[in-house]
Structures are given as structure tokens and as C-alpha cells.
């Protein structure tokens, strides 16, 4: 679900390169730079229902794919 959202937001087929340790590549794939990285995190929140704490969003360029996956809502 997260990889699909990243693909739709500009990542395209590059999401096949996602690894748990992938960091700033994610934002680059989405066409962001450091100035709008926090906004990109907000888009991810809205698109897939992530709740990204401010402390994570503030360091958006260094957040790993693994960290984002761990923030995914759990099905109950």
C-alpha cells in the first residue's frame, strides 16, 4: 500500500528499488526538494492514512522506508 502510494505520487516504477534502508530517494522520486519535503510527508499522510509525528516529518529527508512502513495503520 505504501509503495503503491509512492508510485502514484511520482515514484513510478522506481518503487521496485525500495529497500528498508531507502531514505531521501523516496522524496526525490516524488519530485520534492528539501523545501517541500515536509509537504510531501503530509501528502503521504492524507493519501494512505499515515500518522507521521512532527519529529519524523521534520527529518523527512532521512526517514527510511522501514520507518514509514512501521507508521502504517494496522488492520484490526
Domains of the chain: 2-70 (1.10.1200.10)
Q: What is the pLDDT averaged over residues 44-51?
A: 84
26 in helix, strand or coil?
helix
Q: Return the pLDDT at 35.
A: 59
Residue 75 — pLDDT band, cuts 50, 70, 90?
A: low
Q: Which residue has the higher pLDDT, 15 or 41?
A: 15
Cα–Cα distance for residue pair 30/28, rounded to 1 Å: 5
Instruction: List own/partner pairs for 50-55 with CB under 8 A and 24 or more apart.
Output: 50/2
33 in helix, strand or coil?
coil
* In the predicted structure, residue 67 carries a pLDDT above the cut 80: yes
* In the predicted structure, residue 16 carries a pLDDT above the cut 70: yes
Tell me the percentage of the chain whose pLDDT exceeds 90. 17
The answer to whether the predicted template modeling score (pTM) of the entire model surpasses 0.85 is: no
Cα–Cα distance for residue pair 73/16, rounded to 1 Å: 22
Amino acid at each position: 500500500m505504501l509503495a503503491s502510494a509512492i508510485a502514484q505520487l511520482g515514484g513510478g516504477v522506481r518503487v521496485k528499488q525500495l529497500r528498508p534502508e531507502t531514505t531521501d530517494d523516496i522524496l526525490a522520486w516524488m519530485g520534492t526538494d528539501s523545501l517541500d519535503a515536509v509537504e510531501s510527508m503530509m501528502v503521504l499522510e492524507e493519501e494512505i492514512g499515515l500518522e507521521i509525528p512532527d519529529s519524523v516529518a521534520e527529518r523527512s529527508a532521512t526517514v527510511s522506508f522501514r520507518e514509514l512502513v512501521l507508521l502504517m495503520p494496522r488492520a484490526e
